[in-house]
C-alpha cells in the first residue's frame, strides 16, 4: 500500500494522448493500443517522451470509463488521427505511490482521498496514474503506480 502522500504545485505540461471510452474489462487493451499509437507517432516525429506514460480518468464509471492515455512531451506537438495534443493542467496536485496489483489500487485512492480531505482540499475530479513499472517486468505484488489527484 502507501503511507507517503505529497502535495505539489505543477506547471502546465503538454502531452500527446488518445482519449477513449471503455469498460474496465477492456481497459488494459485500450491502454496498450493507445500507447502503441502514441509511441508510433512520437517516432514519426523523431521525438521522445518527457516523462513516463500515464492514464487520466475523467470519471470512475467502471462500465464506461472516460480515459486519456498518453505521455508528457517537452513542448506542444501537433496531433494526428487519434493521437491529439493536450495538457495536464497547472495547479495543485496530491499524489502517492501505490505498490501492489492493479485490482487492489482502490485502497490507495481511498487513502489519498482521505488525506486530501484532512488537509482541507478537494479533488477536481480528474485522476492520473503513472506506471513506474509494468506487469511484464515484475510480479503483480511489486507493481508501482503513482496516483495523482488534481485539486480544486
Tens of pLDDT, residue by residue over 97-114, are 999 999 999 999 999 999
Q: What pTM does this model have?
A: 0.93
Q: What are phi and psi of 59, to 5 degrees?
A: -155, 175
pLDDT tens digits for 45-63?
999 999 999 999 999 999 9
pLDDT at 114: 96
Contact 122, 116 (CB under 8 A): yes
CATH 3.20.80.10 fits 5-151, yes or no: yes
Exposure of 99 by Cβ count < 10 A (0-12 exposed, 13-18 middle, 19+ buried)? middle
Q: What is the mean pLDDT of residues 1-29?
A: 93
Going from N- to C-terminal start, the domains of the chain cover 5-151
Distance of alpha carbon 47 from alpha carbon 128, whole angstroms: 23
Render 114-147 in DSSP notation, one character per residue.
HHHHHTT--EEEEEEEEESS-TTTS-GGG-EEEE
C-alpha cell, 12: 502546465
Amino acid at each position: 500500500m502507501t503511507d507517503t502522500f505529497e502535495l505539489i504545485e505543477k506547471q502546465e505540461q503538454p502531452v500527446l494522448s488518445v482519449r477513449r471510452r471503455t469498460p474496465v474489462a477492456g481497459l488494459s487493451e485500450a491502454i496498450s493500443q493507445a500507447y502503441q499509437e502514441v509511441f508510433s507517432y512520437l517516432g514519426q516525429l523523431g521525438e521522445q517522451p518527457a516523462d513516463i506514460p500515464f492514464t487520466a480518468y475523467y470519471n470512475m464509471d467502471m462500465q464506461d470509463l472516460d480515459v486519456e492515455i498518453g505521455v508528457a512531451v517537452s513542448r506542444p506537438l501537433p496531433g494526428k488521427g487519434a493521437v491529439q495534443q493536450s495538457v495536464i493542467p497547472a495547479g495543485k496536485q496530491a499524489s502517492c505511490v501505490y505498490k501492489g496489483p492493479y485490482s487492489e489500487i482502490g485502497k490507495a485512492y481511498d487513502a489519498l482521498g482521505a488525506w486530501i480531505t484532512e488537509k482541507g482540499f478537494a479533488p477536481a475530479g480528474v485522476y492520473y496514474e503513472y506506471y513506474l513499472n509494468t506487469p511484464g517486468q515484475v510480479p503483480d505484488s511489486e507493481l508501482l503506480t503513482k496516483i495523482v489527484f488534481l485539486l480544486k
